[in-house]
Amino acid sequence: VLGMLHNLIYQQDDAFYQSWMHSANHSLGAFCSGGTVANITALWVARNNVLKPDGEFPGINKAGLFGAMRHYGYRDLAILVSERGHYSLGKAADVLGIGRDQLISVPADNQNRICINALEDTITQLNRDNIKPVAIVGVAGTTETGSIDPLNALADIAEREGIHFHVDAAWGGATLMSNNQRHKLAGIERADSVTIDAHKQLYVPMGAGMVLFKDPSVVASIEHHAEYILRKGAKDLGSHTLEGSRSGMAMLVFACMNIISRRGYELLIDQSIDKAAAFAKMISQHPDFELISEPELCLLTYRFVPARVQAALAVANEEQVDLIHNLLNDLTKFVQKRQRESGQTFVSRTRLTPEQWQRRTTTVFRVVLANPLTTQEILHEVLVEQAAIAQESEFAYPRLITLADSILKS
């Protein structure tokens, strides 16, 4: 199964897999309980290869972090990712001793993708400060908006700077199954490591994350052995994993790959992306809703903003805009909670800082259109219900309308 997923990303020839697939000293990747452990594993490999054995120095896995830093003379380490990076990367920085403060959050642009110029400036500053970047993390399908970083541009920078390039494709990796959509992940094949969650768009039960490595030899930096099970020379994938005993999720992924098939996944992924685009159009054309993020994959965000309030926002001063946004945030929370409790339809919510609203913290509805049974009629019902629930608010909605009318009259 790891070979199948590795080939989906890196598309190596048969000779490559015949050589590496069953090598006792190497690994194409590992099954993990989810994207969190997959990301930790990828960054563990990256950290250990940065602080690798050197002459008489045995490497970080024997000397420890302090000894490795003294040997190499770095003032600190850092991991670079956009502000849309998944929270698991903070866990990884913590567990690996790098520290959450050294998970450097690089600003995203108005399409929620990492800003390349900001990344370049950050690397320049880190080099000046003698802080070694352990990895650049590109996101292929952000959890909140489904956005895809410019992977080729990130690969260029990583190659130039000699930095491990990891792609967190837990959400978007399955898009590679569609020949019609895989171009959106162009550059992922240049990544040193990739995370994919099969329990997302590969439609298997929870607990099926994977990390894949372009060069199977890099996992030697985290290799562990035991006399009773992980003996040297034995082909046991556990010698290159963080977790020891794990469930047999590979069987479920294997079954899905054969039952749903590549063509079936392509149909599922294409229809989910088409449905997200159709819902985005529905939202944009509705006078009382505002689309916040255009979908690249099957995720999008939006909020309820009555037409009168939209008109008021167009002419309001800064103080009035702040007040309206605070009320809209309260209203979005009210609608999302009440909609969940009513049990008819459901969307989740999150908070973003969209450029179109000058980076104000904005509470939004977040929709994931992965269910093939969701119809456009259901999506229409979602909007109808949200508009009706909004008017049930005894605080935010009446204050919004009163404020908007006041602004428009003045």
Which of residues 201, 226, 259 is at a domain's end?
Answer: 259
Question: Position 29: which residue type?
Answer: G
**Which helix (H) or strand (E) segment is 308 a member of?**
helix 307-315
Domain that holds residue 390: 263-409
pLDDT above 80 (res 74):
yes
Q: What's the pTM value of the predicted model, to 2 decimals?
A: 0.92
The 10s digit of each residue's pLDDT in 165-216 is 999 999 999 999 999 999 999 999 999 999 999 999 999 987 899 999 999 9
- My answer on whether 282 and 234 are in the same domain is no
Give the distance from CA 369 to its chain's centroid: 16
Beta partners for residue 170, in sequence order: none
Q: Is residue 226 very low, low, confident or very high in pLDDT (cuts 50, 70, 90)?
A: very low
The whole-chain average pLDDT of the chain stands at 92
Task: Judge if 250 and 359 occupy the same domain.
Answer: no
Q: So what's the pLDDT on residue 104?
A: 97
Give yes or no: residues 243 and 293 share one domain. Answer: no
Instruction: Give the domain-ending residue among 259, 287, 303.
Output: 259
134, 51, 123: which is closest to 89 by C-alpha? 134
Looking up residue 319, the CATH number of its domain turns out to be 3.90.1150.170
Q: In the prediction, which pLDDT does 376 show?
A: 94
Of the residues 225, 240, 259, which one is the last residue of a structural domain?
Answer: 259
What single DSSP character describes residue 185? G
Checking if the pLDDT of 231 tops 70, the result is no
Residue 247: per-residue pLDDT: 77
**Considering its fold, how many domains does the chain have in total?**
2
**What gap in Å lies between CA 319 and CA 287, rounded to an integer?**
24
Q: What is the pLDDT of residues 310-344, one digit of tens each?
A: 999 999 999 999 999 999 999 999 999 999 999 99
User: Residue-wise over 238-249: b if at least 16 C-beta within 10 A, else e?
Assistant: bbbbbeeebeeb
